[in-house]
Structure 1
């Protein structure tokens, strides 16, 4: 049979299982949010990479065309056509500075913006030193600098070496790309309020970073834990805290295969999980309310079942007891007698019975009324119950003012002793009974004991106890009489 505790326990287990399942689903959705953010960062990095590589390829071809033209005597010997031959439309693209040809001393000898070259020397620039000292550099992408020809506009140089026929250094072909190009490109990538996009040289120099901070451009971050991750693999993703602003982000990076640059796209954890946290809060709150409601219903159902079981128990008790006295009723007495008789036969033990009858009870009812009679019956029943102490002893209301006491494993002497205690206790109640010769309520008790033998019925013991009761009444009432008809062993 299902118990209230089992129902409550089952309800708690089911509620906890629901919470655990919800937690697993929410955790999986959190992982999915991170996976989506990684994929989004990768796609954005790919878009930026393609744009940068396409433009850099065009600029590299333009620089190579200038190198080829400078080494062509026919081009160099036609001053009016030289500009058209050397500089294509790429030289006039947005965010590009003038394309310059520098001689071996780093002076401007050809200027795409003017027929008469401007006066400037760039021998201190890093790109000039690199090409001068290294013949095989090819396309060189330099560190950011403030342009001297464009009022300090931050730019990065793209340059190629010019060599004489004997391979000696002849100068540099240069084009400057304004950092505003990267600023506009990265600003168009949506990464949330705390996201970041950066282009970093492989030596750790910060070329551009969004959100833009002029103090960050040109800074070297080679010692940062994030940069060490950037150079550890061609591409990848990881979570770390930025050394620049202290924000924890999911980083996706890729080393551009054809350029000495690293593209980095980073989305802040706070932005990645913002929608998830809002959704998780709603779902978790609903699930918690549902789980608590389920547990509450389990407790309520358990309490209802407990009340029902208690009511059924009380009904069962009422079916087995006398409503007035609280003692066993006659039906229950029959079950007890049958059980104890069988046990006595099996164990060869003595079974004693007491018949208790209130003296002149009809006259008491006639004198004091039925309510007083009921009170007297209840008081007598309590006296009987108080004087049988063993768990195996039992008492029952036989009918009217008669009671039966069953005393297993009790000798005739022991039964007589208990009977005397009951008689004295009833007499000592002192309940007034003017119609009695004793002036108070008294009881007569008949006792019988039998050691069950083969083919002997329990009804013989009952008849013997009843006969002893008759003898007690016949000899003056308010006394105990023992049966003389049944042998005791």
Structure 2
């Protein structure tokens, strides 16, 4: 029955892990979609911004402005002005009137002094490229748009007007409609002030709404990018959100997958596997009553073999093979969680001289005593120790700061010294140990050998500066 329960728990753990994997895949998919949409928007906005700057440079060039309207039009406006979803590029004078219009040699009659982008550039000479909130275009029949604009200044720095280009929101609608989001997913482009520029599924009543008071938006502006789960205030659907803040534009791209979509396939698989596992577990319980005694004997034998394969026979600590598994697992965990990973290298000082003087049996006894000191001074379940080889030991300390690692190393060093095992070949007259400590916050492209090298160098430093001490690596830990 215990084995059947274990099998059931293992199945549950496997299903839970597959649930986590489904969430991880959804996060990665959302990230890829967000990056793709972000790059498309950045590329187009860069072209629009360059076109605006070219217009401003032309307006400030007297020769261009003295040209006939048709020639001036060709010099000021490149082919970007005819791009799909792009409105006219306009030059407004200091009063907000259109003075140059990419859509016509003769400027249309309109005044935009009441627009927010006009006021921003008029009142703030350093506004740079400004992206407006959504508005209804007066020149294109009320088409929902946003404006990209730059200030035009006179040689003395005073306000001379605004160069702007209108981007039809249909561009974002078309871009987002091509993304595969699932039946309840969503994607949105949001201004850093909280204005909703575009959202898919599309709802015209949501465009322009300010969501700065929503809990989701507060998380959007708290970091350059990230993911989290929350329930949308717009439709009440719980989603996994992935967001990215544009590095050079005041925009946020958000891709959200509904939990119901993420777990749909997993729920079907979990129901099928769980049912089969329950039937198998019941059958196994019935069989185990007949074979219980033999199975228990076999399990005991296998457990002993597994223990022998994973531990060092002399010291009882983990062996080198198990250490490799522990290092790999804890390093990946630290890299995933961005936590500090600490390592201690413990080396018995002048151990060869000890063996030569007192014999190998005494050396083995000394190593076993040192191993006990190490084991007694690491208390957390996540901490582990292993015999690295010969008289060297390694202590793995996940989620431990450099100061914490050095403190534990000092406790181990003091405990070994307090054993007071006679060692005539040591400058201290007793068995001592030198310890190298290193702490590291792993990057994506680093492996565990980086912190191993740092700890080894720290150990070498401890040896070179007198032994019987703890040396902390000077490599950056966080």
**TM-score normalised by the shorter chain: which range applies?**
0.5 to 0.7
Q: Does 1:196 align with 2:186?
A: yes
| Aligned counterpart in structure 2 of residue 246 of structure 1, from 236, 244, 247 | 236
Give the CA deviation at 1:17: 1.2
How well do the aligned residues superpose, as a CA RMSD in angstroms? 1.2
Give the CA deviation at 1:15: 1.4
| Aligned counterpart in structure 2 of residue 82 of structure 1, from 61, 65, 72 | 72
State the match for 1:405 in structure 2: none
| SS in structure 2 of the partner of residue 17 of structure 1 | helix
State the match for 1:206 in structure 2: 196
State the match for 1:56 in structure 2: 45
Q: Tell me the number of residue pairs that the alignment of Structure 1 and Structure 2 aligns.
A: 291
| SS in structure 2 of the partner of residue 81 of structure 1 | helix
Distance (Å, rounded) in 2 between the aligned partners of 1:286 and 1:235: 41
| Aligned counterpart in structure 1 of residue 139 of structure 2, from 143, 149, 160 | 149
State the match for 1:27 in structure 2: 16
Distance (Å, rounded) in 1 between the aligned partners of 2:98 and 2:179: 38
Distance (Å, rounded) in 2 between the aligned partners of 1:269 and 1:248: 6
| SS in structure 2 of the partner of residue 152 of structure 1 | coil
1:263-296: CA deviations, max 9, x gaps? 1111111111111111111111110111122234
Q: Does 1:107 align with 2:97?
A: yes
| Aligned counterpart in structure 2 of residue 18 of structure 1, from 7, 12, 19 | 7
1:111-130: CA deviations, max 9, x gaps? 11111111111111010000
1:403-442 pair list within 5 angstroms: none
Q: Does 1:275 align with 2:269?
A: no
Q: Does 1:184 align with 2:174?
A: yes
Distance (Å, rounded) in 2 between the aligned partners of 1:282 and 1:178: 49
Give the CA deviation at 1:166: 1.0
Q: Which structure exhibits the higher relative contact order, with contacts defined as CA atoms closer than 8 Å and separated by 6 or more residues?
A: 1
| SS in structure 2 of the partner of residue 199 of structure 1 | strand
Distance (Å, rounded) in 2 between the aligned partners of 1:301 and 1:258: 69
Q: Does 1:287 align with 2:245?
A: no
1:19-39: CA deviations, max 9, x gaps? 011001001111111111111
| Aligned counterpart in structure 2 of residue 42 of structure 1, from 31, 35, 40 | 31
State the match for 1:69 in structure 2: 58
| Aligned counterpart in structure 2 of residue 230 of structure 1, from 220, 224, 249 | 220
Give the CA deviation at 1:299: 6.1
Distance (Å, rounded) in 2 between the aligned partners of 1:207 and 1:288: 50
State the match for 1:132 in structure 2: 122
Give the CA deviation at 1:195: 0.6
Give the CA deviation at 1:85: 0.4
Distance (Å, rounded) in 1 between the aligned partners of 2:275 and 2:75: 72
1:1-55: CA deviations, max 9, x gaps? xxxxxxxxxxx22211110110010011111111111111111111011100000
Give the CA deviation at 1:191: 1.3
TM-score by length of 1: 0.59
State the match for 1:259 in structure 2: 249
1:205-227: CA deviations, max 9, x gaps? 10111111111110000010000
Q: Highest CA radius of gyration, 1 or 2?
A: 1
